Amino acid sequence: MPEARVIQIDGRDGPGTSPRRARRAARCSAVAGDGERCREKAVAEGLCGEHLAQHERSLATATAPEWEQKLAGALAFVRRRVTGDYPIDDFGFDPDLTEHVLLAAMRPLYEKYFRVEVRGLDNIPSTGGALVVANHSGTVPIDAMMTQLAIYDHHPAHRHLRMLGADLVFKSPLIAPLARKGGSTLACNEDAERLMSGGELAGVWPEGFKGIGKPFSERYKLQRFGRGGFVSAALRSGVPIIPCSIVGAEEIYPVIGNVKILARLLGFPYVPVTPFFPLLGPLGLLPLPSKWIIEFGEPIATDELGSGAADDPMLVFNLTDQVREVIQQTLYKLLLARRSVFF
Amino acid sequence: MSSRVVLITGVSRYLGGKLASLLSADPSIERVIGVDVVPPRQDVGRTEFVRADIRNPIIAKVIASAQVDTVVHMSVIATPFGAGGRTAMKEINVIGTMQLLAACQKAPTLQKLVVRSTTAVYGSSSRDPALFTEGMEPRAQFRSGYGKDSIEVEGYVRGLGRRRPDVDVTLLRFANFIGPRIDTPLTRYFALPAVPRMLGFDPRIQFVHEDDGIEVLRRAVLEQRRGTFNVAGSGVLLLSQAIRRAGRPAVQIPSPAVSAVGSLFRRVGLVDFSPEQMQFLQFGRGVDTTRLVEDFGYRPAYPTRAAFDDFVAGRELKRYIDPDRVAGIEQRVLAEVERRRAAHA
């Protein structure tokens, strides 16, 4: 089966080598160079009745009512999932699953529940590497997911935000594979630089657990920005830093206490107590429907600082402070302008 | 400086034998000497077989008397399965390598040493970067196993490189081998009628096709390629995805039961699930092959996904979930919907 061989070397999925497929492939030589199914080429060359029929059917669905197209899309998705026919990048990112399931599941939360308002999207470049740096809050990292969805849905280039997460995320069963499939990877310099030099849009929440688990009384007060590792990664990759301020996430779970003993027992960084959790049990897990604003600030260029800049601790420190200050000031500005927490 | 007399350890195993038969077909090579404790079962061409344990001083005599200029060390074993236990495995791997390298150091004719190592030296943990480059260290500490042995083997190899700077040392770290013919713990694992995997984890895995692996070894012998190189097909597969591509059902095992199930499989002799292998099936691993492509000058013909597909096709694994049938069902449903719409209109 020479065709099947060529496709495998090319790394794309083409016909496998089951007898039925092999027979079909022998009959129809119209396999496109990229290994895609042969519809287009078959039409052009007038080959292979089976694939022509498929093509006509897909043309028919193009004029079919919307629900039918959706059904066809859903069926194709299920087929891809069942047979393992989807791309995965080196970090474990699964765009097929992310676009069709993970982001779709968050969309109602984004649009109807938190009514996220997003500003300054034109500060994110349409192509090339960049680093989004944002404030972290809300006990569970819903803010990161909402930022990802905001960029994917509303940025003209529909970019995927590749988030850098704590190693606890990748240690936790069930969460770890979802995080990787959703585009996250471990927050370490190697991965950050690999993403950004590869032209990806990376996102980092440098306050980490200090930010996300802080008590309600300290809301919108930025914590320390780690050790500035994100700044040196951006400097090394020569990509701009885009400060991002998220308002609204602080109020979804107002943390009034922390069960430190339980946290230590379970190996979690904190076990939050809110006015509703654990008092109301599972109902207390429902986030409060605050109104959110996500604002992307003007990019801070790093490429003109030179290649040695990442090894200058003072410069890294100052730049870290600058980013932090921009986010903090934007937060104050947004807080002054918002009418209430919930509207 | 090309090799003329090549000595291959571990010649009776699949890769060693394959390399021996390729090299013996090459007219530029005068002699190929294969060493192993059992005679090779596959055809190794004009390879001269020496039945010896590399821990035996006879190796030094063979190297000296045949004026060996290239040693290919491939007898580091990955599982205690065939070796007769973990202690014996460590003995063969570490002590065997020490003895072999001691003999190499004393051999004035030696010009080149090619060592088959593994990407298992990077370990596998939740703190791993997405892809390991050759300069990175493992993030988690090993207690025992193939990875630990390989780290020690690499240490001795580097030692030889320091003491004999005139010898070209090529250290090849291979990802998991896969292909239609090779037999490894992972190929046996994917051939199980239902493939067990750990609930809540979906590791990234990477393969190198057996043909690519052998080609890399062949070039390392025939050409001058000093240094350490990761050898793997580009790209990764998720374990769940690989199981789906093999058309097998996956059985998700909750983590408390994993070690019990693993030792059951081991006792029955189905698949070797060493603790290290379990760790790999939990967190996975990926390596960067830029150096292989740019410095070594070889781009594997099979990306990870194609290598795996070739394994599935070549083994003629019965795909319980047949992609053709799935596509057929899809087409039938769509055709039915369309027919009903046409009937309405």
SS3 at position B9: strand
Closest CA in chain B for residue A70: B334
Give the count of beta carbons closer than 10 Å to the beta carbon of residue A70. 11
Picking from B200, B204, B309, the nearest residue to A174 by CB comes out as B200
Q: Do B245 and A83 touch (CB under 8 A)?
A: yes
Shortest distance between the Cα of A96 and any Cα of chain B, in A, equals: 13
The two beta strands, B70-73 and B168-174, are: unpaired
* Partner-chain contact A72 B128, CB within 8 Å: no
| Closest partner CB to A194 (pick from B131, B243, B323) | B131
Residue B71 confidence (pLDDT): 96
Task: With CA atoms as reference, report the closest residue to A87 among A160, A19, A11, A29.
Answer: A11
Average pLDDT, chain B: 91
User: Contacts of residue A171 in chain B, CB cutoff 8 Å?
Assistant: 126
Cα atoms in the 13 Å half-sphere on the side-chain side of A79: 19
Best CA proximity match to B155, nearest among B107, B86, B75, B93:
B93
CATH of domain B5-324: 3.40.50.720
**Is the domain A95-252+287-337 a CATH 2.40.37.10 member?**
no
Q: How confident is the model at residue A43 (pLDDT cuts 50, 70, 90)?
A: low
A281 min Cα distance to partner chain B (Å): 24
More confident residue, A64 or B306: B306
Residue B68 has pLDDT above 80, yes or no: yes
Give me the pLDDT at residue A104, please. 96
Task: Provide, as residue numbers in chain B, all residues whose Cβ is less than 8 Å from the Cβ of A180.
Answer: 202, 204
Identify the residue with better confidence: A280 or A1.
A280
Interface list for B 158-217 with A (CB within 8 A): 198-202, 204
In this complex, do B236 and A90 lie within 8 Å of one another by their Cβ atoms? yes
The whole-angstrom separation of Cα B58 and Cα A180 is 52
Mutate to test the interface with A, among B305, B319, B321, B336 (most CBs of A within 10 A): B305
Answer whether A79 sits within 8 Å of B330, measured CB to CB: yes
Angle between helices A66-83 and B323-344 (to 10 degrees): 170
Contact call for residues A336 and A254 (beta carbons, < 8 A): no
- pLDDT at residue B267, rounded to an integer: 78
B234 to chain A, any CB pair closer than 8 A? The answer is yes
Min CA distance, B25 vs chain A (Å)?
Answer: 25
Asked if residues A257 and A340 have their Cβ atoms less than 8 Å apart, the reply is no
Q: Locate B137 and state its tokens.
A: 């260290």
Measured CA to CA in angstroms, residue A23 lies from A16, A33, A187, B21, B312 at distances of 11, 19, 48, 34, 18
Distance, in angstroms, between A135 CA and closest chain B CA? Answer: 23
Mean pLDDT across the stretch A1-14? 39
Instruction: Read off the pLDDT band of A9 (50, 70, 90).
Output: very low
pLDDT at A324 over 80: yes
- Cα A209 from chain centre: 19
Per domain, the residue ranges of chain B are 5-324
Residues ≥6 apart with Cβ < 8 Å to A217: none
The identity of residue B54, as a single letter, is I
Reported as a single tens digit per residue, the pLDDT across B227-245 is 999 999 999 999 999 999 9
CB B95 within 8 A of CB B147: no
Count of beta carbons in the 10 Å neighbourhood of residue A88: 23
Cβ-defined contact of A71 to B334 (cutoff 8 Å): yes
- A126 to chain B, minimum CA–CA distance in Å? 25
**Residue whose token pair is 């999932």:** A81
Over chain A, what HEC string results? CHHHHHHHHHCCCCCCCCHHHHHHHHHCCCCCCCCCCCHHHHHHHCCCHHHHHHHHHHHHHHCCCHHHHHHHHHHHHHHHHHHCCCCCCCCCCCHHHHHHHHHHHHHHHHHHHCCCEEECHHHCCCCCCEEEEECCCCCCCHHHHHHHHHHHHHCCCCCCEEEEECHHHHHCCCHHHHHHHCCCEECCHHHHHHHHHCCCEEEECCCHHHHHCCCHHHCCCCCCCCCCHHHHHHHHHCCCEEEEEEECHHHCCCCCEECHHHHHHHCCCCCEECCCCCCCHHHHHCCCCCCCEEEECCCECCHHHCHHHHHCHHHHHHHHHHHHHHHHHHHHHHHHHCCCCCC
Question: How many C-beta atoms lie closer than 10 Å to residue B126's C-beta?
Answer: 17
The dihedral formed by the CA atoms of A246, A248, A250 and A256, expressed in degrees to the nearest 10: 170
CA distance A210 to chain B (A): 20
Residue B26 near chain A (CB below 8 Å) = no
CA distance B39 to B44: 10
Distance in angstroms (rounded) separating the CA atoms of residues B287 and B121: 11
Q: Return mean pLDDT, chain A.
A: 85
Rg (C-alpha) for chain A, rounded Å, is 24
* B338 vs A: CB within 8 A: yes
Nearest to B116 by CA among B62, B50, B170: B170
> Does position A35 have pLDDT exceeding 60, yes or no?
no
For residue range B260-273, what is the model confidence (pLDDT) as tens digits?
A: 888 888 777 777 77
Task: Classify burial at B232, counting beta carbons within 10 Å of its beta carbon; exposed 0-12, middle 13-18, buried 19 or more.
Answer: buried
* A82-100 pLDDT per residue, tens: 999 999 999 999 999 999 9
Q: What whole-number distance in Å separates Cα of residue B64 and Cα of residue B76?
A: 22
- Do you find a cis peptide bond into B256, omega within 30 degrees of 0? no
Give the bridge partners for B33, in sequence order. B7, B48
* Cβ contact B130–A90 (<8 Å): yes
Confidence of residue A50 (pLDDT cuts 50, 70, 90): low
List the single range of A124-133, A318-327, B127-136, B185-194 with lowest mean pLDDT. Answer: B185-194
Q: What is the largest CA-CA distance in chain A?
A: 72
**How many residues are present in chain A?**
343
Q: With H, G, I as helix, E, B as strand and everything else as coil, classify residue B279.
A: helix
Q: How many CA atoms lie within 13 A of B164 on its CB side?
A: 20
Question: Smallest Cβ distance to B236: which of A79, A92, A176?
Answer: A92
The verdict on a CB contact (< 8 Å) between A194 and B303 is: no
For chain A, the structural domain boundaries read 2-83, 95-252+287-337
Q: Which residues from chain A sit within 8 angstroms of residue B339, using beta carbons? A: none
Residues linked to residue A134 through DSSP beta bridges, in sequence order:
A244
| pLDDT at position A3 | 43
Q: How far apart are CA B93 and CA B115, in angstroms?
A: 12
| Pairwise CA distance, residues A175 & B201, whole Å | 8
Banded pLDDT at A281 (limits 50, 70, 90): confident
Task: Name every chain B residue with its beta carbon within 8 A of the beta carbon of A185.
Answer: 130
Distance between start and end Cα atoms, chain A:
64
CB count within 10 Å of CB A261 equals 9
Residue whose structure tokens are 């209430």: A340
- Complex-level ipTM: 0.90
- CA-CA distances (angstroms) from residue A53 to A37, A46, B325? 13, 11, 17
Query: What was the pLDDT predicted at A14?
Result: 41
Which residues of chain A are within 8 Å of residue B245 when distances are taken between CB atoms?
83-85
Contacting residues of A for B312, CB less than 8 Å apart:
16
Model confidence at B327: pLDDT above 80: yes
Full DSSP string of B125-149: -TT--SSB-TTPPPSS---SSHHHH
Element (H, E) at B208: strand B207-209
Kindly report, residue by residue over A153-210, the tens digit of the pLDDT: 999 999 999 999 998 999 999 999 999 999 999 999 999 999 999 999 999 999 999 9
